Amino acid sequence: MAKVLGADPEILLITKNGDLKFAESVVTCTAFGYDGAAIAAELRPEPADTPNEAFANIRGALSLGMETPAGKYQWFAGTGNGHHPTGGHIHIGDRTDAIMPSLLDVYLGLPLIALEPEDGRWYRRDEGGYGYWDDVRGQPWGIEYRTPSSWLVSPAATRLAMSLAWLIYQDPDSMTLPAWNRELRDYNLLNGETNKLRKYATEALGLLRNCPNYKTVAPAIEAYHFMADVLGDWQEQRDMRVTWGFRDPPTGTGIIRETQAEQEQNDDVGTSIKWNDDQYMGMVERRCGPVASPDGRTMWAVGARGSRGTNVLLSPELNKNPRVKAILNKYNFPYQTWPNFPSQKGELVIGLPLNLRMDSADNCGRVVRQVALSAFSRLGS
């Protein structure tokens, strides 16, 4: 019997000068290969039976690659925009059901595509000619799904991809195709209209809660809402070696972190404020400094997208804290509760608009520090 999950996602190797290095010349281990054009490196982890095993195999293959000549170059995943299209092919064993391509598009391809930046989504599909809907190949061991771009952009996106693929393998008979399924085939929807794609993706993931095996992968799938609505598009301009924790951030450029990955790895126990790497957030973080939580709670400080306006955004729990509101009033920072906050009850998240990060980084840092101290019950009465 074939293993349930496999994959061969692609990685671009980029020099310090920003030039593309052909993978053929530096790939030297069995965990890495290269695509048909010998340009992109192709990760080749061992197949697995569970999402956790698949994730561990992927991390192990990446780790092996770091010890080869390829490891000295920067690694980039995502769409490959501006260099060379990169795919995130997923292998599913022992499944040849006629409905599988449609289920994969709705419940796997759609959520991942909705995370991609619009320009990259267009680049891979319109200019590169890869990754359209229903891009499925039959294989001796099952099927290969080729629609997603390379989800190696972060550990969180990787867990999401493996978890969704596993759930589709396990529970196809409990899945139905929504009425808007045919609308996905609209060319304009695929290459634009991110808000509509994310709306449909959210609906699709909601339908998965009816699956018998959903609880097994619920944490990885429910992280999607935070990735899409709070962190924003997956950040494919980041060096994967840093995102996955194989390299330290480069000096002089601020701290580059993939916050969802840090949460999953849980290896930074001294840090109770988690930051994303949106523009000017590095300056805010440096001014804020570390704040530890006595009871192990975490507060997220993220850059709010421009479409969210110019107010500081507070998750419902922070918005209920009168001390937090007093701090924001002290610094004349307008604030509001986060509209349709996409997370579980009780999370602490503060969203900083671009205008404040850019013009008032020092005060933003002070505010985040004091809000964290208040949220962690470390401010005196």
Residues 18 and 93 in one domain: yes
Domain final residue, candidates 184, 212, 231: 231
Residues 160 and 297 in one domain: no
Residues 103 and 12 in one domain: yes
Residues 223 and 292 in one domain: no
Number of alpha carbons in the 13 Å side-chain half-sphere of residue 149? 33
* Domain-located, residue 297: yes
Predicted local confidence at residue 267, as pLDDT: 38
Domain final residue, candidates 208, 231, 254: 231
Alpha-carbon distance of 154 to 122, in angstroms, equals 21
Q: Which of helix, strand or coil describes residue 223?
A: helix
Residues 56 and 185 in one domain: yes
Alpha-carbon distance of 48 to 192, in angstroms, equals 34
Handedness of CA 24, 140, 63, 14 (dihedral sign): positive
* Domain-located, residue 242: no
* Domain-located, residue 184: yes
The amino acid at residue 268 is D
Residues 200 and 134 in one domain: yes
By CB atoms closer than 10 A (0-12, 13-18, 19+), residue 232 is middle
* Domain-located, residue 157: yes
Predicted local confidence at residue 187, as pLDDT: 57
* Domain-located, residue 368: yes
Alpha-carbon distance of 341 to 360, in angstroms, equals 25
How many domains does the chain divide into? 2
Alpha-carbon distance of 195 to 185, in angstroms, equals 16
Domain final residue, candidates 201, 231, 261: 231
Q: Tokens 């809000």 identify what position?
A: 371
* Domain-located, residue 258: no
Predicted local confidence at residue 113, as pLDDT: 93
Q: Which of helix, strand or coil describes residue 61?
A: helix
Residues 52 and 166 in one domain: yes
Residue 337 tokens, joined: 């509760």
Q: What is the CATH number of the domain that holds 61?
A: 3.30.590.20
Residues 277 and 159 in one domain: no
Residues 158 and 22 in one domain: yes
- Taking 50 as the pLDDT cut, the residues of the chain under it are 252-269, 380-381
Domain that holds residue 309: 269-375
Predicted local confidence at residue 178, as pLDDT: 93
Q: Going by DSSP bridges, is the β-strand pair 5-7/90-93 parallel, antiparallel, or unpaired?
A: antiparallel
Determine the Cα angle at 114 with ends 151 and 355, to 5°. 100
* Domain-located, residue 116: yes
* Domain-located, residue 163: yes
Q: What is the pTM of this model?
A: 0.72
